[in-house]
Amino acid sequence: MKAGKAAGIIGIAMLIAGCAKADSVADYEAPDTSKLVDFSDWGTSGKLQFRIVKVEELKSLAVVNGEEKAPRAMRFFVVTLDVMSYDLGKGVIDFPARVSLVDETGLAYKPNSERFTRLNASPPQVNIDAGQFIERKIAFLVPKEYEPAALRCMGAEDAKPSLFALSRSL
- d(C-alpha 104, C-alpha 50), whole Å: 21
In a domain, residue 169? The reply is no
Q: Is residue 65 part of a domain?
A: yes
Domain membership of residue 13 (yes or no) is no
What CATH number is given to the structural domain containing 78? 2.60.40.1240
Is residue 98 assigned to a domain?
A: yes
Instruction: Supply the DSSP string of the chain, one letter for each residue.
Output: -HHHHHHHHHHHHHHHHHHTPPSPEEE-PPP-GGGPBPTTS-EEETTEEEEEEEEEEESEEEETTEEEEPPTTEEEEEEEEEEEE-SSSEEEEEHHHHEEEEETTSEEE---HHHHHHHHTS-SEEEEEBT-EEEEEEEEEEETT--EEEEEE-SSTTSPPEEE-SS---
pLDDT for the residue 65? 85
For residue 73, give its domain range: 23-164
Residue range 134-147, pLDDT digits in tens: 999 999 999 999 99
Tally of domains in the chain: 1
Q: Per-residue pLDDT tens for 71-85?
A: 999 999 999 999 998
**Residues forming beta bridges with residue 60, ordered by sequence position:** 69
In a domain, 159, yes or no: yes
pLDDT in the model for residue 21: 61
Residues in the chain with pLDDT values less than 50: 1, 6-20, 170
Query: Considering the domain boundaries, does residue 16 fall inside one?
Result: no
- pTM of the complete model: 0.83
12 within domain boundaries: no
**Domain annotation covers residue 1:** no
- Residues, the chain, total? 170
